[in-house]
Structure 1
Amino acid sequence: MDARAKLLRSRETLRVALLASEDWQPSYKRDLKTFKALLAGEARLETVTAEYLVGLDQRAPAYVDWSRLPTHVVADAGPVLNNDDAAWKREQTLLTAALLDIITELVATGASAGENLYGIPVGFTTLDEAILVAARTQVAQLVSQVTTTTRDLIRESIQQSIATGEDQAAAVARLSRVINNPVRAELIAHTESVNAYQTGLFNFGKATGAVSKTWDGLAGACKLCGPLIGKTVKIDADFPGGYPHPSRHPRCRCGLIYNYE
Structure 2
Amino acid sequence: MATRAALLDLREQLRASILASEDWQQSYRDDPKTFKALVAGEARLETAAAEYLVGLSQRAPRYVDWSRLPRPVQADAGPVLNNSDPVWKEEEKLLTAAVLSIVTELVATGAIAGESLYGIPMGFSTLDEAVLVAARTQVAQLVSNVTATSRDLIRESIQQSIAAGEDLATAQARLMTVINNPVRAELIAHTESVNAYQTGLKNFGKVTGAVSKTWDGLAGACKICGPMIGKTIPIDDFFQLSNGNEVDHPSAHPRCRCGLIYNYE
TM class by shorter chain equals over 0.9
- 1:258 aligned counterpart, secondary structure: strand
The reply on whether 1:72 has 2:64 as its aligned counterpart is no
CA distance, structure 1, for counterparts of residue 229 and residue 21 of structure 2: 22
1:25-61 deviation digits (Å, cap 9, x = unpaired): 0000000000000000000000010000001011000
- 1:233 aligned counterpart, secondary structure: strand
CA distance, structure 2, for counterparts of residue 247 and residue 41 of structure 1: 16
Deviation at 1:2, TM superposition (A): 6.3
Alpha-carbon RMSD across the aligned residues, in angstroms, is 1.1
CA distance, structure 2, for counterparts of residue 233 and residue 102 of structure 1: 30
The residue number in structure 1 matching 2:255 is: 251
Q: Which runs of 5+ in 1 are unaligned?
A: none
1:181-228 deviation digits (Å, cap 9, x = unpaired): 000000000000000000000000000000000000000000000000
CA distance, structure 1, for counterparts of residue 264 and residue 120 of structure 2: 12
What is the one-letter code of the residue matched to 2:130?
A
- 1:137 aligned counterpart, secondary structure: helix
Deviation at 1:159, TM superposition (A): 1.1
Once the two structures are aligned, what percentage of the paired residues are identical?
75
Matches within 5 A, 1:1-261: 3-69=3-69, 70-74=71-75, 76-77=76-77, 79-83=78-82, 85-241=85-241, 242-261=246-265
What is the one-letter code of the residue matched to 1:239?
F
CA distance, structure 1, for counterparts of residue 94 and residue 258 of structure 2: 31
1:227-261 deviation digits (Å, cap 9, x = unpaired): 00000010000001311000000100000000000
What is the one-letter code of the residue matched to 2:201?
L
Size of the aligned set, in residue pairs, is: 259
CA distance, structure 2, for counterparts of residue 220 and residue 159 of structure 1: 40
CA distance, structure 2, for counterparts of residue 71 and residue 108 of structure 1: 55
What is the one-letter code of the residue matched to 2:51?
E
What is the one-letter code of the residue matched to 2:122?
V
Q: Which runs of 4+ in 1 moved over 6 A?
A: none
CA distance, structure 2, for counterparts of residue 154 and residue 104 of structure 1: 30
Q: Which runs of 5+ in 2 are unaligned?
A: none
- 2:214 aligned counterpart, secondary structure: strand
What is the one-letter code of the residue matched to 1:172?
Q
- 2:215 aligned counterpart, secondary structure: strand
Deviation at 1:100, TM superposition (A): 0.3
Deviation at 1:71, TM superposition (A): 3.8
What is the one-letter code of the residue matched to 2:74?
V
CA distance, structure 2, for counterparts of residue 67 and residue 165 of structure 1: 15
What is the one-letter code of the residue matched to 2:253?
H
CA distance, structure 2, for counterparts of residue 71 and residue 136 of structure 1: 46
- 2:50 aligned counterpart, secondary structure: helix
Q: Is the helix fraction higher in 1 or 2?
A: 1
Structure 1 length as normaliser, TM-score? Answer: 0.97
What is the one-letter code of the residue matched to 1:73?
Q
CA distance, structure 1, for counterparts of residue 146 and residue 2 of structure 2: 29
Deviation at 1:24, TM superposition (A): 0.3
CA distance, structure 2, for counterparts of residue 191 and residue 59 of structure 1: 26
Structure 2 length as normaliser, TM-score? Answer: 0.96
CA distance, structure 2, for counterparts of residue 54 and residue 85 of structure 1: 21
